[in-house]
Amino acid sequence: MSIAEQSIIPARQADWKQRDRHGENLNLKGQVAVVTGGATGSGRASAGKRADRGAAVMVADINDSASAATAAEVAEIAGRSACFRVDVTDVGACSDLAAKTLEVLGPADILINNAGVAGAPNWQKRSFSTEEDWKMTYRVNVIGMSNIVTAFEPQMAKRRSGRVVNIASIAGREGRPSLPHYSASKAAVISLTQSTALELARYNITVNAICPGLLWTPMWEQVGERYAREVPAYAGMSARQVFDVMIADRIPMKSEQTPEDIAETVVFFTSYDAKNITGQALNVDGGLFMR
């Protein structure tokens, strides 16, 4: 079973409600959340967590069938959800998504920009970054994010309220020889987050980024395969073994991060509790990077 098939959405919703008794702060009843790349992985966990707190969720993904499945799960929890096929590099499709969200669920309160790629198709089979890898990562991870924010800005600005969370990566914190195009695009995401935060602060819209550390996702499975092939120290290992060695060697907390960890941080940034936090990039990485 791949990670995408494992349910990340907590099975016992009642437990969470119990834990949130302390106040209305994490209650998202009546709110509308949009999650791009929301069909699988961290995006799916975020969608589930939003719904869990009472929000209606629009699952936007290029993967039609997976997003329908996630939307159905979300509907079971929250009662209201929808899915929409969107290629974030297509400006028209992004405006269609915004219009559809408004029509079906109402104006968006929360925008979770999670859609991302590690390279052009077959990147995991190559040893070097190609021009296509550079273009694809920049188009999806950076320009795509900007397209989505631009499409939803009017809905949020009009109501003088909004929360945007961009999923970057610790790869964006420091340049590294492997996948330089990916690192550069994620550094750009952090920068874009800051610019957008300054731009939208006047509408009372906060914009923050999360930099996930090492998560066992379909993407990391491919990264691991590539490392096993390219890096002598990992020769002969399975992708999961490469992953485990990296956790042991590099993560101070000695444990992997999970989609659940990322979803919890998204919940915090989009909650009332974080109303005065904007322009920040927070590493959720077990202490790997401290800046």
Partner 1 sequence: MDFEGKTSVVTGGAGGIGRGIAHALARRGSNVLIADTNEESAVKVVAELMAFGAHASFCETDVTAQWSTDEMVEAALEEFGQLDVLVNNAGVGGARDFTFRKTPNIDDWLATFDVNVFGIVNGIQSVEKYMLDRGYGKIVNIASIAGRSGGAGFTAYGASKAAAINVSQAWAFKLAPHGINVNTVCPGLIWTPLWESIGEWRSLTSRQHTGMTSRQVFERAVAESVPLGREQTPEDVGNAVAYLASDRARSITGQALNVDGGIRMN
Residues designated catalytic? 182
Q: Is 168 in the site for partner 1 (CB under 8 A)?
A: no
Closest CA to 163 of 153, 171, 151, 174: 153
Binding string, residues 28-67; x marks residues near partner 1 by CB under 8 A: ----------------------------------------
Residues making up the chain, counted from first to last: 291
Q: Which residue has the tokens 């631009």?
A: 150
**Angle (CA) 104 108 110, round 5°:** 135
Show the tokens assigned to 107: 């104006």
Q: Could you tell me the smallest distance in angstroms from the CB atom of residue 25 to partner 1?
A: 7
Q: Is 265 in the site for partner 1 (CB under 8 A)?
A: yes
Q: Is 170 in the site for partner 1 (CB under 8 A)?
A: no
Q: Cβ(41)–Cβ(217) under 8 Å?
A: yes
Q: Is 270 in the site for partner 1 (CB under 8 A)?
A: no
Q: Is 284 in the site for partner 1 (CB under 8 A)?
A: yes
Q: Cβ(13)–Cβ(49) under 8 Å?
A: no
Show the tokens assigned to 127: 């040893």
Q: Is 160 in the site for partner 1 (CB under 8 A)?
A: no
Q: Where are the alpha helices (DSSP H) in the chain?
A: 13-19, 41-52, 64-78, 91-104, 131-137, 144-158, 180-200, 218-230, 239-250, 259-270
Instruction: Output 87 or 260, the one with its CB closest to partner 1.
Output: 260
Distance CA 101, CA 59 (A): 10
Q: Is 25 in the site for partner 1 (CB under 8 A)?
A: yes
Looking at residue 257, the DSSP 8-state letter turns out to be B
Q: Could you tell me the smallest distance in angstroms from the CB atom of residue 174 to partner 1?
A: 14
Size, binding site for partner 1 by CB under 8 A: 43
Q: Cβ(32)–Cβ(98) under 8 Å?
A: no
Q: Could you tell me the smallest distance in angstroms from the CB atom of residue 202 to partner 1?
A: 7
Q: Which residue has the tokens 């968006």?
A: 108
Instruction: Output 176 or 254, the one with its CB closest to partner 1.
Output: 254
Q: Cβ(207)–Cβ(279) under 8 Å?
A: yes
Instruction: Output 155 or 283, the one with its CB closest to partner 1.
Output: 283
Distance CA 12, CA 81 (A): 19
Q: Could you tell me the smallest distance in angstroms from the CB atom of residue 114 to partner 1?
A: 17
Q: Could you tell me the smallest distance in angstroms from the CB atom of residue 132 to partner 1?
A: 32
Q: Which of residues 183-202 bind partner 1 (CB under 8 A)?
A: 194, 197-198, 201-202
Q: Is 161 in the site for partner 1 (CB under 8 A)?
A: no
Contacting positions for partner 1 (CB under 8 A): 19-23, 25, 194, 197-198, 201-202, 204, 206, 213, 252-255, 257-258, 261, 264-265, 267-268, 273-287, 289-291
